[in-house]
């Protein structure tokens, strides 16, 4: 689990994206909310999806796919947020 925490905390975009997807969102919507380029958010989502921290809710769609943080991803967020209080 801590290798995933390390993976997420090494990049501020990864951290923001993972937290931003606690509520389902599209890469375009999330990019607007976070003030980050859509392409960076899309790349980050695919990287997080590759390690099981994010899942696609609408895989059959070719555009406007919705993503959210998985249970494993939520545990990583909890660990990261716990560090903020230490």
| Distance between CA atoms of residues 24 and 9, nearest Å | 21
Global pTM reads 0.90
In this predicted structure, what is the pLDDT of residue 15? Answer: 95
Rounded Cα distance, 60 and 42, in Å: 17
Q: Are 63 and 27 in contact (CB under 8 A)?
A: no
| pLDDT value of position 83 | 65
pLDDT of residue 86: 44
Judge whether residue 85 has pLDDT over 70. Answer: no
pLDDT digits (tens, 9 = 90+) for 8-64: 999 999 999 999 999 999 999 999 999 999 999 999 999 999 999 999 999 999 889
Q: Tell me which DSSP letter residue 22 carries.
A: T
Please state, in angstroms and as integers, the Cα–Cα distance from residue 33 to each residue in 25, 70, 85, following that order. Answer: 10, 20, 25
Domains (range + CATH), the chain: 2-85 (1.10.10.10)
């Amino acid at each position: 689990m801590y290798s995933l925490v390390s993976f997420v905390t090494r990049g501020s975009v990864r951290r923001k994206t993972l937290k931003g997807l606690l509520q389902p969102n599209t890469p375009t919507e999330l990019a607007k909310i976070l003030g980050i380029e859509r392409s960076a958010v899309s790349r980050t989502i695919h990287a997080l999806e590759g390690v099981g921290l994010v899942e696609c809710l609408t895989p059959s769609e070719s555009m406007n796919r919705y993503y959210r943080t998985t249970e494993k991803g939520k545990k990583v967020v909890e660990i990261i947020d716990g560090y903020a209080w230490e």
